[in-house]
Amino acid sequence: MKFKYLMLGLACVALSCTKTSEIDRKVDDLLSRMTLEEKIGQMNQLDYGSVNDGLIAAGKVGSVLNCVDAQKVNAMQKVAVEQSRLGIPLLVARDVIHGFHTIFPIPLGQAATFDPALVEQGARIAAVEASSYGVRWTFSPMLDIARDARWGRIAEGSGEDPYLTCLMGQAMVRGYQGDDLSKPNTMAACAKHFVGYGASEGGRDYNTANIPERVLRNVYLPPFEAAAKSGACTFMTSFNDVNGVPSTGNRWLLDDVLRGEWGWDGMIVTDWNSAGELIAHGFASNLEHAAQLSLDAGVDMDMMAYAYISNLEKLIEKGEVKQAQIDKAVRRILKLKFELGLFDNPYVDESFAGSLDYCPEHLEAARKCAVESAVLLKNEGALPIGEGKTLLVCGPLADAPADQLGTWCFDGNPEYTLTPLQALRKYYKVLYEPMLAYSRDNNVSAFPKLRTAASKADAIVLFLGEEAILSGEAHCLADLHLQGAQSELVDYAAACGKPLVLVVMAGRPLTIEEEIGLSDATLYCFHPGTMGGQAIAELISGREVPSGKLPVCFARSAGQYPLYYNRPNTGRPNTGHELLLDQIPLNAGQTSTGCQSYYLDAGYGPLYTFGYGLSYTTFDYANVKLSKTELKPSDVLKVDFDLINTGSYDADEVPMLFVQDVTGSIVRPVKELKRFNRVHLKAGQSQHIRFELPVKELAFYGINDKFALESGEFRLWVAPDAASGEAFNFKVIK
């Protein structure tokens, strides 16, 4: 039997190699027949509004983005395939970030599920819907580590942790690309933004990022390496510079690390006009220089800068770039088109386009993802609320179908959005008083009638947060408080004397400590997508139990950012003593009391740590045992424990394994996530769980800038979040 499976495996490998060899042969043949002008045309990506049949027929466009009409896609392909000299099909691309028509929670919300299988399913659904219109390339997943919620694009990634981001990125790559890229219902994934974009100074978009190489390798590069090794077809350069070198012109990042060290040979595309922005950076003197620097760095395709199409022929004539460089880039582009099956099947079935949009299976997956992404931050007995009661529903996000979808949602139709107001009416008698028209509204004229309305209700549910347009690209904020008069609305509602539930929908963590303090329960939903309203109504009623966990720390004040749980320790680590401003006596002399790492006005830690999230039930972690306390580099550490649902609700829990390298050649994080699992337990049920951690995964880039495992003392915690659990010790010996 083993021999049978071995031969089957070898046959599969042989078939894959044969297919690859055949594609290589076809690419070589086509490349040998192309003129220089046609080759450069393949390296040119244009927005749909910038193309015409003449450019396509002349072979001057390799890829088109932002066309989502099957008939128009086919019309363009007909010109490319039947009127251009060599019949090379176009590659149609689109930003499909968290769903195409059926919209899932924003990626930060998907990360809060700690459920890679569900995230993979969401990406698969997005690919199925988008590809039916001819879109075969998406600019996702975003793998930027983001530790500053002021940065609007924190919404598009998986948060602050490299390990979680690795797994979520790999899940999206698998979902988009499927098990056979040549199938017409797949899309090529694009790992972006390479690299360090989430570390932009001050949380300000497009800003510079200064990242020491060891930090770059230990924190920011691992998710991209994981995506590369998972077969992501394409990478996108980032807008920012890293240590003074813009990513689009960074040969060390693109050629030495990505292609050299990792052995990845996919296709690299710029971000929108990022080749042209080398001039604004002061890195290139003009567009011709920018084209040379981009090609030298290893960029294959130029998105909307016209740098390659306008300048590469001149650079060849001058001898400043080589024909071989262009051939390498075009080879990668053509190979991707062959792998996607575009030469054999360039057209889409127009009668099939959209036939699966918003189908029941897709909506159910979106609902489940929205349920699992919701994080219960506080509950003093206010949730769940029994069905049939009377609820006073207020707030600007209660019935905001477009804002509920979140940022980077080009193709979701708000008419299909099920809002909380609509869904709650299925289970409750609802009194609806919006009070504020939108999140930035400062008109408080309706507030006085809140008390009268509340007197008729059993509880008040306020839907707060931010509009979709307030997060995402170019939407950074210095102040993360609730916008408009939302905080005042919380004050009014709290004074009514009825149980007060806050439901916050936003694209980032907001600084809402005071508002949470006034509530009896707070449910946080990163913009939850098409089915978010249904998910929220089921969570409020108890039909579903909250299980989401925070993929980022929540700060008390925006001044605490950057803020993250896996920070390096300091020479004066905080030990719990927080000398706040109001505790300092008048005329106090200079003193060393409290000289630890914290803020006088905000204390030390976050409001809520990474992994935090409550449930309607309770869980115990018991009988934690390590397979060994002294391990060699070749060993696998087995951590066994019992997880017990000690409450009265069937529910999911996400146990996590954190590790600390106590002493290293460089200062190491106080904790690092190494494993997690989503477990469903019935009330009263217990389950034995084992985490297996190969010791080699404790390696890191140390003082000699080499990736190596260091011997010494380690601690580990099995816990529901980064601030909980009992520490257990083990050693790594060599």
Residues 374 and 460 in one domain: yes
Please write the tens of the pLDDT for every residue from 164-181. 999 999 999 999 999 999
Task: Tell whether the model's pLDDT for residue 611 goes beyond 50.
Answer: yes
Q: Is 135 among the domain residues?
A: no
Residues 369 and 345 in one domain: no
> How many other β-carbons are positioned within 10 Å of the β-carbon of residue 22?
11
Residues 477 and 348 in one domain: no
Q: What is the pLDDT of residue 586?
A: 85
Residues 380 and 468 in one domain: yes
Q: What is the CATH number of the domain that holds 715?
A: 2.60.40.10
Residues 631 and 503 in one domain: no
Q: How far apart are CA 108 and CA 145, in angstroms?
A: 11
Helix (H, G, I), strand (E, B) or coil at 347: coil
Task: Tell whether the model's pLDDT for residue 585 goes beyond 90.
Answer: no
For the ranges 185-189, 384-388, 593-597, 618-622, the lowest mean pLDDT is seen at: 593-597
Residues 533 and 669 in one domain: no
For the ranges 15-29, 139-153, 527-541, the lowest mean pLDDT is seen at: 15-29
Task: Tell whether the model's pLDDT for residue 134 goes beyond 90.
Answer: yes
Residues 330 and 415 in one domain: no
Would you state the structure tokens that stand for residue 374, as one six-digit string?
């919701």
Residues 336 and 441 in one domain: no
> How many other β-carbons are positioned within 10 Å of the β-carbon of residue 11?
10
Q: What is the pLDDT of residue 157?
A: 98
Domain boundary, last residue among 296, 317, 352: 352
The predicted model scores a pTM of 0.96
Q: Determine contact, residues 721/609, Cβ cutoff 8 Å.
A: yes
Using a 10 angstrom Cβ sphere, with 0-12 exposed, 13-18 middle and 19 or more buried, the burial of residue 664 is middle
> What is the residue type of 543?
R
Buried b (16+ CB within 10 A) or exposed e, 54-92: ebbebbbbbbbbebbebeebbebbebbbeebeeebbbbb
Quickly list DSSP for 284-314. -SSHHHHHHHHHHHT--BEESS-HHHHHHHH
Q: Is 308 among the domain residues?
A: no
Q: What is the CATH number of the domain that holds 474?
A: 3.40.50.1700
The Cβ-side half-sphere exposure at 166, using a 13 Å CA radius, reads 16
Q: Is the peptide bond before 384 cis (omega within 30 degrees of 0)?
A: yes
Please write the tens of the pLDDT for every residue from 217-245. 999 999 999 999 999 999 999 999 999 99
Residues 438 and 465 in one domain: yes
Q: What is the pLDDT of residue 551?
A: 99
For a pLDDT cut of 70, what percent of the chain falls above it?
A: 97
Buried b (16+ CB within 10 A) or exposed e, 469-498: ebbbbebbbeebebbbbbbebbebbbebeb
Residues 440 and 494 in one domain: yes
Q: Is 172 among the domain residues?
A: no
What secondary structure letter does DSSP report for 629?
S
Residues 471 and 423 in one domain: yes
Task: Please state the domain count of the chain.
Answer: 3
Domain boundary, last residue among 541, 572, 592: 541
Q: Are strands 672-676 and 656-661 parallel, antiparallel or unpaired?
A: antiparallel
Q: Determine contact, residues 175/140, Cβ cutoff 8 Å.
A: no
Q: Is 292 among the domain residues?
A: no
Q: Is 180 among the domain residues?
A: no
Q: How far is CA 124 from CA 42, 99, 118, 178, 702, in A?
A: 28, 9, 10, 7, 38
Task: Tell whether the model's pLDDT for residue 408 goes beyond 50.
Answer: yes
Please write the tens of the pLDDT for every residue from 671-722. 999 999 999 999 999 999 999 999 999 999 999 999 999 999 999 999 999 9
Q: Is 381 among the domain residues?
A: yes
Would you state the structure tokens that stand for residue 633, as one six-digit string?
């580099």
Q: Is the peptide bond before 562 cis (omega within 30 degrees of 0)?
A: yes
Q: Residue 604 — very low, low, confident or very high, per pLDDT cuts 50/70/90?
A: confident
Which residues are the active-site residues?
A: 271
Please write the tens of the pLDDT for every residue from 295-339. 999 999 999 999 999 999 999 999 999 999 999 999 999 999 999
Q: How far apart are CA 122 and CA 172, in angstroms?
A: 8
Please write the tens of the pLDDT for every residue from 633-669. 999 999 999 999 999 999 999 999 999 999 999 999 9
Q: Residue 2 — very low, low, confident or very high, per pLDDT cuts 50/70/90?
A: very low
Q: How far apart are CA 558 and CA 565, in angstroms?
A: 16
Q: Is the peptide bond before 141 cis (omega within 30 degrees of 0)?
A: yes
Q: Is 389 among the domain residues?
A: yes
For a pLDDT cut of 90, what percent of the chain falls above it?
A: 92
Q: What is the pLDDT of residue 601?
A: 87
Q: Is 474 among the domain residues?
A: yes
Q: What is the pLDDT of residue 10?
A: 44
Residues 403 and 489 in one domain: yes
Q: How far apart are CA 247 and CA 245, in angstroms?
A: 6
Query: Tokens 């009263």 appear where?
Result: 684
Q: Determine contact, residues 193/238, Cβ cutoff 8 Å.
A: yes
Task: Tell whether the model's pLDDT for residue 191 goes beyond 80.
Answer: yes
The Cβ-side half-sphere exposure at 392, using a 13 Å CA radius, reads 21
Buried b (16+ CB within 10 A) or exposed e, 210-220: ebeeebbbbbb
Domain boundary, last residue among 511, 541, 571: 541
Q: What is the pLDDT of residue 587?
A: 85
Would you state the structure tokens that stand for residue 715, as one six-digit string?
């601690």
Quickly list DSSP for 506-566. ESS----HHHHHH-SEEEEEE---TTHHHHHHHHHHTSS------SSPBPSSGGG-S--SS
Query: Tokens 């050693």 appear where?
Result: 731
Structural domain of residue 347, as residue ranges? 16-89+326-352
Task: Tell whether the model's pLDDT for residue 4 goes beyond 50.
Answer: no
Helix (H, G, I), strand (E, B) or coil at 24: helix
| Separation of CA 729 from chain center | 33
Region 548-557: what's the mean pLDDT? Answer: 98
Select from 145, 141, 281 the least CA-distant residue to 207: 281
Q: How far is CA 678 from CA 87, 113, 164, 643, 720, in A?
A: 49, 9, 13, 11, 11
